[in-house]
A and B are shown apart, each in its own frame.
Chain A
Amino acid sequence: MAKPKVPGMFKGLGVTFATLVRTAKDGANTIQYPHEKETPPLRARGVIALHEGNCTSCMLCARSCPDWCIYIEGHKELAPPRRAGGAPRKVNKLDRFDIDYALCMYCGICVDVCPFDALFWSPEYEYSEPSIADLLHDKTKLGEWMQTVAEAPELEVGAEKKGKK
C-alpha cells in the first residue's frame, strides 16, 4: 500500500472550503449573464464588421475563408476620368457582401488577408437569432457593426518610420 498522503487530502478539503467561504462573502467569479453583462476586451473577436468604402471586391477574403462563409458579388462600372481628357476609369462596385455566421468559425483569416482594411473585428457578441437563416448578415448589417469597432491603437514610437520598399 502506498504511503497515504493525509496532509494533502486535508489541504484539498481546505481549498474547497476556502472557495466556499470566499464565494459566500465576496461573490462568485462568474456573472449572471442576462442580468449583468461583461464588457469584452476592445479587440475581442465578437463579430466581423465591413467598411464598405474600402472594399474592392477582390475576393481575397472569400477565397481564404476556410469554410466558405463569405459571399461576394460585384460588377464593374465606369467612373469619370481623373484628369480632363483621360479615359474613364473602371471601378469595382460591391453588390453583395454576406457573411454567414452560422458557418463562420471566427478564425479571422479574412480580416488578416484583406489588403484594403475593409474588414474589422468588433467586440459585439449579442447577435444570436431564433432562426438560423437570420445569421446571414448582409452588407448593411455588416456595415452597422463598424460603429462598434474599437479605434486602432496608437502605433508604437518609431513604428511609422518604415524603410523604403
Chain B
Amino acid sequence: MLAALLSEIPYWGQSLLRVLGGLVAVLLPAGTVVYLFLFKMMSFMQSRLGPMEAGPYGSMQLFAEVGKWLQKEDIVPDAAAPEARIFKLAPLIVLASTFLLVVVVPFGPDALFTNFETGIFYALAVSSVSVLGILIAGWSSANKYSLLGGLRAAGQLVAYELPMVLAVVGVVIQAGTMNLQQIVVAQNTGSIFGFDGVGNPYVITQFVAFIVFMIAVQAELTQTPFDMPIAESELVSGYMTEYSGFRFLIFFIGEFATAGVFSMIASILFLGGWGVPFSWFGWTTIDSIDNWMNVGGPLILFTKMLVLVFFIMWIRFSFPRFREDQLQRFAWKGLIPIALANIMLTAVLKVAF
C-alpha cells in the first residue's frame, strides 16, 4: 500500500512531498477552473470564443496572465504605507486559508495529507480564516471603497458560514462521523433501503442540505449573485482595489483555488468523494480497496469537483447580484431555518431507522 511505501521515505522527504502535493492540489484546480470556466465557459455563454491566441485555443493564456501580473509594480498606497506590512500580509492570509483547507481533503484511500478525526469541523473553522485576510485587506488599504468591500465581505461571510455549518451537520448526523475519509466510506458502502447499487451518496438523502451548502459556498466564494463585497461596478473590486501585481494575483488564485477546494469538500460530503460504490469491485472496507484507487481516486474527485464548479460558475454567469439587505435576509430568514429544519428531520429519521 501507499502508506507503507511513504513510511520508508525520511521525514524531510515526506514533508517535501506533502508541500508539493499541496501546491498541486491548490494550483491545479485553480488553473483548470480559471481556464475552463472563467475563460472559456463564460465566453461561450456570451457567444464569443474567449482567449484564442496564446497556445492552442488559448490554453497558455493563464501563463501569459501570470507573467503579466508578476512583472507589474507592487504598489503600496501612501495612506497605507504606515501599515505596509499588514497591507502586504493580507493576501497571503487569504491564500493560506485555502492551503490549510486542502490539508484535510482525502484524495484516495491513502492519498491524503492528514486523517483528522474532526476533519469537516477543522475545514469549516479554517475556511473562515480568509475573512480575517479580507477584513485586513479592506481596512489597511486606507480607502473607503476597500473598507466598505471588506466590511461587506465580513458581514456576508459570517452570515453564510452559519447555513453552511448547519447543512454539514445533517451529513455528519447521517454519517455518524466528522472524519472526511469515513464520510466517503460511509457513502460508498451505504445503501438506500437495501439497494446498494450506487452506494448512498448524500446528495440524495440530504438534498436540502446539498442545496443549502452549495448556495452558502457560492456566497463564501463571493461569486456573482452574492458578489456585493467585490461589486466591480460600484466598489471597484472592494477590498482588492489597492492591490496590484502579484498580490492581486494571490487574491485571484485564492478565489478560484478556494472555489476548487470547496467543491472538492462538497463532492466529498454529498457526492461520494474519491470513491466509487465499493460493491462494484467487491470491496467491503477501506483496507480492502485496490491500490489503483490512489491514482483513480484523485481523478474521480477532480471530475466531481469540475461538475460542481460548473454549477457554481453557471449561476455566476447567469444572474445579477443581490442587494445587501436581500443578501442578508436570504441567509438569516431563508437558508438558516431550512438548514435547521433539515437537521431536525435528519436527527429524527436517524433515530427512527
Contact = CB atoms under 8 A, between A and B. Distances in A.
B52 A12 contact: no
Contacts of B46: 19
A interface, over-half SS: helix
B72 interface: no
B49 A16 contact: no
Interface in B312-338: 314-315, 317-319, 329, 333-334
B319 A12 contact: yes
B333 A1 contact: yes
Contacts of A24: 44
B7 interface: no
Given A1-B333, A32-B52, A13 B314 contact: yes
Contact of B47 (A1, A9, A13, A23): A23
Interface in A1-47: 1, 9, 12-13, 15-17, 19-20, 22-24, 28-30, 32
B45 interface: yes
B159 interface: no
A19 B44 contact: yes
A32 B315 contact: no
B334 A28 contact: no
A29 B47 CA distance: 6
Q: How large is the interface on B (under 10, 10 to 19, 20 to 34, 35 or more residues)?
A: 10 to 19
Contacts of B44: 19-20, 23-24, 28
Nearest to A13: B318
A13 B315 contact: yes
Contacts of B45: 16-17, 19-20, 23
Contact of B48 (A15, A16, A23): A23
Contacts of A16: 45, 314, 317-318
A9 B319 contact: yes
A60 B328 CA distance: 63
B41 interface: yes
Contact of B314 (A17, A28, A32): A17
Given A28-B48, A30-B48, A30-B49, A20 B319 contact: no
A121 to B, nearest CB: 29
Contact of B49 (A13, A17, A19, A32): A32
26 contacts: A1-B329, A1-B333, A12-B319, A13-B315, A13-B318, A15-B318, A16-B45, A16-B314, A16-B318, A19-B44, A19-B46, A20-B44, A20-B45, A22-B47, A23-B44, A23-B45, A23-B47, A24-B44, A28-B47, A28-B48, A28-B49, A29-B47, A30-B47, A30-B48, A30-B49, A32-B52
